[in-house]
Structure 1
């Protein structure tokens, strides 16, 4: 799927993944948003992103990434989880434990030393995070005699609701795309249109990154077309308005085609991704017309191929 494609299904996740796929953004985030006593122990020069899909048997959490790095001169991992629900999810602690257990089991089977995993939860809902930050804290009552036998770990919480827009800008000063993305994530959760139009850093971004952020706003803001155009104009997006309009038109056709497929034939997740990767308007139109009389979905999907 094109890296700038933000579908209505998961725009928050796609923006998070796009921002954090750039190691410069990850380094800046670690340096400026993690606790200093931890970030000072991480070798930012010697780190690499790890696809969590490669951890076999792990029931992937859709909004997570992992970073392999040296922590206090020893090999370790930072496991980032991005939470965008309007309310904090207590199940996040079990999700983190699941990742740790599967990773360590895989390392054990390969007869390699277990590496420490430091979980980092990034939250941008419309209310403050109120879930305990340590595993044992989720039990209603835990007798002192029982505690030694129950797993215990903490996670680092980055609650964007507690950061001001100015503070985000200052902490991500050297990485404008990271700064603009985090600011919009915070403001979108509150549907703060005035605040969004004040995110000045967006005007300085390259066209590609502007497009990514405008698509994100289109799919996450509850505003009419006129207001959306005013936002794009205010944020320095006039030059890409024609391209943005074309992308949005194609996105609407992709969405309609997926609905038609689901009603007539059904769709696998891979087939849906294939449709979402097609940006050729003529192919989308041809497939939408053909599906009405098609006897199998394969003959329609062929029309979408290169």
Structure 2
């Protein structure tokens, strides 16, 4: 099984970076008082991320461009997946909101800045305990002084507190929310029991298998130490049909890994052959070849190395 560098980020963006799932989440979890002011029919997912590099292991974010009360606005979704409490999260979120406004101002010379609705999804192994307002972190003062202290409220969702009945939405959204609410459980069997029926249902959807693969990889990278075979055994104990879904994905992961291994091996052979025949001057070309993941194409390049006496001739006659 491949080790995913940041599995939380991968699952979060694969799920809520999908416009259909994003709308599903906002329609089901935004307060009605806010939802009635927002038009989600033309929602856009921005490509920008505002997380500091050193905090990427702890946070992920998505910015949605929406219409608020008929004007341009944003919904900013911050996904916190630290393994410890950090009361400074609202301060960090404020910094990201300011960065969004700075970028907006740079790109649009409007007189006023757009409204931003901040949402924090907390995903830790303990319950969130800091409230949903920046002011709760600041020492209380008289009203005369507090009027001049920056503050804002944010919408907070800690889905570990939600019952099964409270988790709403279409299949992908419910699957995501159940996963993040159970993944840190001491015994993941209960979570798997809730997730498997959704995996079975999702299998029938057009892009279902791709998302199921994302989910299985997430479980194997984040949950209790468990192999693919152990996961399959747990699934069998719950549902034979669920086990079949897991094994379908297992075969795909195995096949992809095998193909990836062949490609990686071919990259190494080409690099060795190029340096042996053309010396260090071939390094730039090797870097370009290493971007190719088509095994047959790589095999043709390797065979072509024998046919040419100069690097220039080789480059001229192969497709890189």
Q: TM-score, normalised by structure 1?
A: 0.75
Give me the whole-angstrom Cα distance separating, in 2, the residues matched to 1:49 and 1:165: 28
Partner of 2:35: 39
Matching residue of 2:86: 89
Question: Which of 94, 109, 116 is equivalent to 1:111?
Answer: 109
SS in 2 for 1:145: helix
- SS of 1:76's partner is strand
Q: Helix, strand or coil: the match of 1:24?
A: helix
Q: 1 CA distance for matches of 2:175 and 2:181?
A: 10
Alpha-carbon shift at residue 204 of structure 1 (Å) = 0.9
Matched ranges for 1:218-257 at <5 A: 218-225=220-227, 226-233=229-236, 234=239, 236-238=242-244, 241=247, 243-245=249-251, 247=253
Which residue number corresponds to residue 159 of structure 2? 160
1:186 to 159, 181, 185: 181
SS at 1:190's partner residue?
A: coil
State the match for 1:268 in structure 2.
none
- C-alpha contact 1:69 1:77 (8 A) present in aligned 2: yes
Matched, 1:23 2:28: no
2:39–2:68 contact (8 Å) kept in structure 1: yes
- Map 1:1-306 → 2, pairs under 5 A: 7-53=3-49, 59=52, 62=56, 63-109=60-106, 110-112=108-110, 113-168=112-167, 171-172=168-169, 175-199=170-194, 200-205=197-202, 206-225=208-227, 226-233=229-236, 234=239, 236-238=242-244, 241=247, 243-245=249-251, 247=253, 280-286=260-266, 304-306=290-292
Residue 259 (structure 1) aligns with: none
Which residue of the partner structure matches residue 262 of structure 1? none
Q: Are the structure 2 counterparts of residues 191 and 180 from structure 1 closer, same or farther at C-alpha, using a change threshold of 3 Å? A: farther
CA RMSD of aligned residues (A): 3.2
Unaligned runs of 5+ in 1: 254-278
| The structure with more radius of gyration | 2
Distance 2:223 2:37 in 1: 39
Could you list the per-position Cα deviations for residues 117-159 of structure 1 after superposition, in whole angstroms to 9, with x for gaps in the alignment?
1100011222211123212221234443332222110100011
Does structure 2 conserve the Cα–Cα contact (< 8 Å) formed by 1:120 and 1:156? yes
Question: Which segments of 5 or more consecutive residues in structure 2 lack a partner in the other structure?
Answer: 203-207, 293-320
CA–CA separation in structure 1 for the residues paired with 2:109 and 2:62: 24
Change (3 A) 1:106 1:86: closer
Shift of 1:292: 10
Taking structure 1 as reference, are residues 285 and 241 closer, same or farther at Cα in structure 2, changes over 3 Å only?
farther
Higher RCO structure (Cα 8 Å, ≥6 apart): 1
Shift of 1:87: 2.5
TM-score by length of 2: 0.72
The aligned counterpart of 1:270 is: none
Cα drift, residue 96 of structure 1: 1.8
Shift of 1:86: 2.6
Taking a change above 3 Å as real, the CA distance of residues 123 and 189 of structure 1, as seen in their structure-2 partners, is same
Q: Please report how far the alpha carbon of residue 250 of structure 1 lies from its aligned counterpart in structure 2 after TM superposition.
A: 6.2
